[in-house]
Amino acid sequence: MTALLEIADIRKVFGGLTALDGVSFTLASGQILGLVGPNGSGKSTLLNVLSGIYTPEAGEVRLAGQSLRGRAPHQIAKAGLARSFQNQQLFTGLSVVDNVLVGRACRLQAGVLASIFGGLAFRREEAAARQQAVDLLTLVGLGWAAEAEVQRLSYGQRRLLEIARALASDPKVLLLDEPCAGLSQAEADDLAVVITRLKTQGLAVIVIEHNMRFVMGLVDRIVALNFGQKIGEGTPAEIRANPAVVAAYLGGSSRAAH
């Protein structure tokens, strides 16, 4: 299995605080990796580095052999890396299906003039994108809400919308930041099924999640962080037995896993 995503020695510093200190791991196509650690351990920061929102002080990120270092977020999206956010960032002025269509932005080609005059190429591209968007919404269980306003969705449904939006660009790697927050256990189970299905199609996933039942049942491997450093890597069973990880959760941090 060749590595699809290689993360090497990522170092991110904010003023006096070292948020990430030499984090390295790889991810292969069709693998699901869980990223765990107490609050403040650097998980979201790592996702921000991967998606290009932060530039690391040191280290390398390679997707399918291409370096992503220093690239703008929209270029990284085009290269095949998509993500959802922990604090929801949906486009509240757009309909549900339009939100998903924005996720398709990097694959759409029509120019301004083509869009205005509405030629055949434009209409075909829009129709195909729209169909894909509706399909993705159906996949996550929101097919009924396509034309609705985002405000009408519940918190959990909005999370699912974010994921549908992230999938719209046909990514190779999907980053999920606490996708289960606000979902009922049933919804979380449904989401796990969806992700497993996508895994068989070759999608690689990094998921940050505190819902241990979701994580343990879904992921192939886990990377554990604490204070910006990798303190453990392995299968769920190995991580559960790893004393450093146990200490990080039960010893210092106040947040207990569900």
Could you list the residues that contact another protein (CB under 8 A)? 51-53, 72-74, 77-78, 82-83, 85, 89-94, 98, 101-108, 110, 112, 115-118, 122, 126, 165-166, 168-169
Q: What is the distance between the alpha carbons of residues 174 and 208, in angstroms, rounded to a whole number?
A: 11
Q: How far is the CB of 85 from another protein (least distance, A)?
A: 7
Distance CA 226, CA 117 (A): 55
Three-state DSSP at 64 gives coil
User: Least Å distance between CB 216 and another protein?
Assistant: 28
Per-residue 3-state assignment (H helix, E strand, C coil) for 238-250: HHHHCHHHHHHHH
Of 93 and 200, CB closest to another protein:
93
Which is closer to another protein, CB of 28 or CB of 110? 110
User: Minimum distance between the CB of residue 199 and another protein, rounded to whole angstroms?
Assistant: 22
CA-only gyration radius of the chain, Å: 19
Q: Which is nearer to another protein, 27 or 168 (CB)?
A: 168
DSSP secondary structure, 186-235, as one string: HHHHHHHHHHHHHHHTT-EEEEE-S-HHHHHHH-SEEEEEETTEEEEEE-
Comparing CB distances to another protein, the nearer of 95 and 229 is: 95
- To another protein, the closest distance from the beta carbon of 126 in angstroms equals 7
For 35, other C-beta atoms within 10 Å of its C-beta total 26
In whole angstroms, the minimum distance from the beta carbon of 109 to another protein comes to 9
Residue 75 tokens read as 């270029």
Nearer to another protein, 73 or 234 (CB): 73
